[in-house]
Amino acid sequence: MNLPISIVLSLLVALLNTVGYYLQKKGQNQIEGDLPFLKYIITAVKTPTWLVGFIIALASMPIYIYAISIGHLSITQPIANTGIIFLVVIGIKYLKEKLGTIEITGIVMLVTGIFLVSLALPEPKETYNLIDTEIAAFFITFLALAGACIIGVFLGKKALGYSILSGICMGGAATVVKLISIQITDLGYDEFSLLDFELDWQLLTGIFGGEFFVPSILLYLTIILIASQLLTLAIAFKHGNLTYVIPLEMGTSFILPVFTGFFLFHEPATIFLVISICVALTGALLLSRMQVAMEASLEATMDAKVKENH
- Tens digits of residue pLDDT in 136-189: 666 766 776 777 777 676 656 777 788 888 888 888 888 888 788 778 877 777
Lowest mean pLDDT among 94-98, 179-183, 205-209, 276-280: 94-98
For position 206, what pLDDT does the model report? 85
- The better pLDDT of the pair 137, 274 is held by 274
- The better pLDDT of the pair 47, 298 is held by 47
Establish how many alpha carbons lie within 13 A of residue 308's alpha carbon, considering only the half-sphere containing its beta carbon.
6
Beta-carbon contacts of residue 132 (< 8 Å; ≥ 6 apart): none
Task: Tell me the residue length of the chain.
Answer: 310
Distance CA 215, CA 196 (A): 15
Q: What's 99's DSSP letter?
A: -
Task: Identify the CA nearest to 167 among candidates 279, 294, 259, 267.
Answer: 259
Q: What's 206's DSSP letter?
A: G
Assessment of whether the complete model's pTM goes beyond 0.85: no
Distance CA 79, CA 82 (A): 5
- Kindly state the average pLDDT of the residues 292-299: 53
Query: Which amino acid, one-letter code, is at 26?
Result: K
Cβ of 198: how many Cβ atoms within 10 Å?
Answer: 8
- Tens digits of residue pLDDT in 57-84: 888 888 888 887 777 666 677 677 767 6
